[in-house]
Amino acid sequence: MSLTFRDAGERVDAYISQFKEGYFPPLLMLARLTEEVGEVARVVSHFSGKTPKPGEDEGDLEAELADLLFVMICMANERGLSLERGFDRVMTKFETRDKDRWTRKDADE
């Protein structure tokens, strides 16, 4: 399955648009985003040696990252922003500003 940011944004919008409440206000979405980042951190810490609390699942990093993406898409949709354009801009920044920042792998590696 191939999915673009535009496709994902349209799918999220179709889901959210069926409810009278619509998108959460920006500050509530920011709180949700922060909550999801915390859940990603919890799963990563479990993978990195922290023992889960008794009865706590180690977690599913793929699902937690997708939850984070869902909230980011909601924020972009609510503001009328293009994640495709934003992602292209940030990659251009990394590919130019940081192109010599790290040690490159040799071609024969």
Residue 24 belongs to some domain of the structure = yes
* Largest Cα–Cα separation, the chain: 57
Residue 100 belongs to some domain of the structure = no
Q: What is the CA radius of gyration of the chain?
A: 18
Domain count, the chain: 1
CATH of the domain at 73: 1.10.287.1080
Residue 11 belongs to some domain of the structure = yes
Residue 36 belongs to some domain of the structure = yes
Q: Helix 83-97 crosses helix 5-16 at what angle (to 10 degrees)?
A: 140
Residue 73 belongs to some domain of the structure = yes
pLDDT band at 1 (very low <50, low <70, confident <90, very high): confident
Domain that holds residue 83: 5-48+60-91
pLDDT tens-digit map of 46-80: 888 777 677 777 889 999 999 999 999 999 999 99
Q: How far apart are CA 78 and CA 60, in angstroms?
A: 27
Q: How far apart are CA 78 and CA 43, in angstroms?
A: 28
Q: How far apart are CA 93 and CA 88, in angstroms?
A: 9
